[in-house]
Structure 1
Amino acid sequence: MHPDQSPLRAHPATEQVPSLLVDLDLMLDEFTRRPLQAEFRFDPGTPAVIGVEFLVERGASRSWNIGRELLHRGLTSMSGLGEVRMWPTLPGGPPSSWLLLESPEVEALFELPTAQLARWLDATYRIVSAEAEWDVLNWDGLLDELTGGPGTPTDA
C-alpha cells in the first residue's frame, strides 16, 4: 500500500453525490433558535461515514463525522447513542428530525428538514448500497494500521 493511501479508502468511484447544503436551526434553549447551515458530504471511498460541516456566520465552522445508517434511521425512529443521536420530531408540523451532538466540550441540538436529507441519503445508497459499504474498506491496511503494521513487535 502506498504510504499516502489510507486503509479506510477504496478505489475512487466514478459516480459522485454533490454535497447537500441544508438550512437548520440550532436550539439555544426551549424557545430560542439560531438558524444556520450545514453541509453534508458523501465520499464513496468511505460510504459508512457522512461528513457534516456546520457553517457559522462568525467564527470557525465545526465538523462531525456521522454514520450514514444513523442518519438514515434517525429520519423515522430513534437512532444512535452516546455522542450522536437522531430522531424524528413529533407529527403535526413539517417533517423534521432532531440531531443531538455531544462531546466533553459541546452539546448541540439541531432541528433539520427530513425530506431533503432523505432524498440525498437515498442518492448515496444508489452509489454504494448499505450491504456493500463495508466491502470498500482495505481490511489488510486497516489491520496493519491498528496493529502498527506488519512485522511490528508487540508487547507480550
Structure 2
Amino acid sequence: MHRDQSPLRARPVPGHVPPLLLDVDQMLDEFTRQPVRAAFHFDPDAPAVISVEFLAERGPGLLWRIGRELLHRGVTSMSGSGEVRMWPTLSRERPSSWLLLESPDVEALFELPTARLAEWLDATYRIVTAEAEMAGLDWDAFLRRLLGSPGAAAD
C-alpha cells in the first residue's frame, strides 16, 4: 500500500461540501466588535440556499437561510435588498465583506473574511452549478403554496 493511501484517511464524499466555520465579527456599534463563530451549511438538495448559524458563546444561536447567489455576489459587490444585504469592505488590509441581517426582531451587522468564504462557495458551485440549482423545483406546487390555492400541500 502506498503511504498516501492510509485506510484511516477520510475520503471526500461526492456531492458533499463540509460546513465552513468562520470567525466573524459582529459590530455592536461603530467601535465595538464581538467575535462570533459562524457555521455555513450547503445542502445539494436545496442548492440555492445556504444555512448560516451564528453560534453564541452563551445562549441560543441565530440561524438564517441566505441565498447562495447573494453571498457569492456580496464578496465582490453590493448584493441583496430588504432583510439581507452584503457588500465588500473598503479595507485593503484583509479582504472582507459586511453582512447585514434585518428583521422586525433582529438587526445585526457582521464582518466576514471573504477568501475562505469565496473558496467554499466556489466548491458548492462545482457540486451544483448556478444554472442547475432551480432545475428540481416544482414551480406549480411552489406557486400553489405561495398563493394559498386549494390543493396546496401544507408544510
Q: Normalising by structure 1, what TM-score?
A: 0.83
Distance 1:148 1:57 in 2: 45
**Aligned match of 2:120:** 120
**Which residue does 1:6 correspond to in 2?**
none
Q: CA contact under 8 A between 1:74 and 1:88: conserved in structure 2?
A: yes
May I ask how many residue pairs the two structures share in their alignment?
Answer: 138
TM-score (norm 2): 0.84
Code of the residue aligned with 1:132 in structure 2: it is A
Query: Following TM superposition, by how much is the alpha carbon of 1:144 offset from its aligned partner in structure 2, in angstroms?
Result: 4.6
Task: Report how far residue 15 of structure 1 moved.
Answer: 1.0
Give CA deviations for 1:81-132 in whole Å, capped at 9, x if unaligned. Answer: 1100000000421000000000111110000100000000000000000011
Name the % identity. Answer: 69
Superposition RMSD in Å: 1.6
Q: Which runs of 5+ in 2 are unaligned?
A: 1-12
Aligned to 2:151: 149
- Report the equivalent of 1:102: 102
In 2, Cα distance between equivalents of 1:91 and 1:59: 32
Contact 1:39 / 1:55 at 8 angstroms: preserved in 2?
yes
Q: Return 5+ residue gaps in structure 1 as ranges.
A: 1-12, 151-156
Indicate the structure whose relative CO is greater, using CA pairs within 8 Å and at least 6 residues apart.
1
3-state SS in 2 of match to 1:18: coil
